[in-house]
Amino acid sequence: MSEEKLRVGITQGDINGIGLEIILKSLIDPLMSEICTPVLFSSQKTVGYYRKALNLEELNFNPIRDFNQLNTKKVNLFNCYEEEIMIEPGKDTELGGRYALISLEKACEALKNNQIDVLVTAPINKHNIQSDAFKFAGHTEYLADKFTGKQDALMLLCSDDLRVGLVTAHIPISQVAAAITKEKIVDKIKQLIDTLQKDFNIRKPKIAVLALNPHAGDNGAIGKEDDTIVKPAIDQLKDKYQVYGPYPSDGFFGNQTYKKFDAVLAMYHDQGLIPFKSIAFTDGVNYTAGLPIVRTSPDHGTAYDIAGKGTADETSLKKAIYTAIDIFRNRKLNAEISTNPLAFSKMKHE
């Protein structure tokens, strides 16, 4: 398979957060234009503000309004809008959400039209982006609806040493127990195994499933869900797959049992993301698994408290770009192998 340079679409995120700072810091690295063709969905005026504010004016863009103008040897800037807008680093504003959505919509349109190959999203504010066009808890749900018509994608946090998927994602903690069913856990385990095989080239993944309740319910003394819902879901699949649990979350991460597994399935957002970010905050990546497209993002938010100060760390965004490229190529290779396994078998033995 040829190692072609992929077209990586990057959304600007909230214009008042650290999104554009970490994007510019990432794209100024000459390596980026060597390994891919970056396409930033923003505007020359907005990017110009941050180039000047962050003293990164040596970073040059190829401005485009049509993908026929794409330059595969440069960093491209797709102009999503022409007007000059008020940028207020560190502030939660209606404009921040409106222009984050404009960037996201233009990038998704390009992805659907095969004008970019993968999507990397900078952080949004889940409150100020809400509108008639965006009534979702976050990127994960929006993209699942946009590209499948359903909201059942798997939120998967990835680093070199740890992968954590979620049964439930952006819902209030008061609704978690009611949202967890045996069928949903089975479905998420299957999604997790499928993405590990197709997107990460792990042939026989070993999965750990976390318990919902403290101490996995202590035989029903602290909740019955682990005995009546979680364990039956694991039992249904363990004859076919390497699935184990339910493990109490505190001890599982405390004694580093996670190192024995290819991935972990957590029951709810903070159960999985608190330990993940404690272990891999600077280089973690959020990947939306189970979609026909490849989308990654850094594993942090808008960080209004440091926005505009020039101190944001771009490592997670860089890793998101690298991960998107790797997943796209892994997925393509596995699709080719599945279509014509004989050809790849011959290549292996020649």
What DSSP assignment string belongs to 159-190? -SS-EEEESS-SS-GGGHHHH--HHHHHHHHH
What are the extents of the domains in the chain?
1-151+291-350, 154-286
User: Residue 278: left if φ>0, alpha if ψ -120 to 50, beta else—which one?
Assistant: alpha
Nearest alpha carbon to residue 156 among 171, 139, 173, 175: 139
What pLDDT, on the 0 to 100 scale, is given for residue 152?
Answer: 82
Residue 108, pLDDT above cutoff 90: yes
How far, CA to CA in Å, does 108 sit from each of 27, 52, 97, 118, 121? 21, 28, 16, 10, 10
Angle CA 228–231–237, to nearest 5? 130
- What fold characterizes domain 154-286? Isopropylmalate Dehydrogenase (3.40.718)
Is there a contact between 39 and 70 (Cβ–Cβ < 8 Å)?
yes
The residue among 145 and 346 whose pLDDT is bigger is 145
Give the side-chain half-sphere CA count within 13 A for 231. 13
Residue 1, pLDDT above cutoff 50: no
What pLDDT, on the 0 to 100 scale, is given for residue 126?
Answer: 94
What pLDDT, on the 0 to 100 scale, is given for residue 338?
Answer: 77
Long-range contacts, stretch 242-246, CB < 8 angstroms, 24+ apart? 242/204, 242/205, 242/206, 242/207, 243/189, 243/207, 243/209, 244/206, 244/207, 244/208, 244/209, 245/208, 245/209, 245/210, 245/211, 246/209, 246/210, 246/211, 246/212, 246/216
Helix (H) or strand (E) holding 40: strand 36-42
Q: Is it true that 1-151+291-350 and 154-286 share their CATH fold?
A: yes
Question: Letter for the amino acid at 32?
Answer: M
Count of beta carbons in the 10 Å neighbourhood of residue 178: 10
Q: Mapping DSSP to helix (H, G, I), strand (E, B) and coil, where does residue 330 land?
A: helix
Q: Does domain 1-151+291-350 have CATH number 3.40.718.10?
A: yes
Share of the chain above pLDDT 90, in %: 89
pLDDT band at 283 (very low <50, low <70, confident <90, very high): confident
pLDDT tens-digit map of 284-313:
999 999 999 999 999 999 999 999 999 999
Residue 342, pLDDT above cutoff 70: no
d(CA 306, CA 255): 33
Is there a contact between 97 and 129 (Cβ–Cβ < 8 Å)?
yes
Its pTM stands at 0.92
pLDDT tens-digit map of 112-171:
999 999 999 999 999 999 999 999 989 999 999 999 998 789 999 999 989 999 999 989
Is there a contact between 143 and 245 (Cβ–Cβ < 8 Å)?
no
Angle CA 236–239–248, to nearest 5? 60
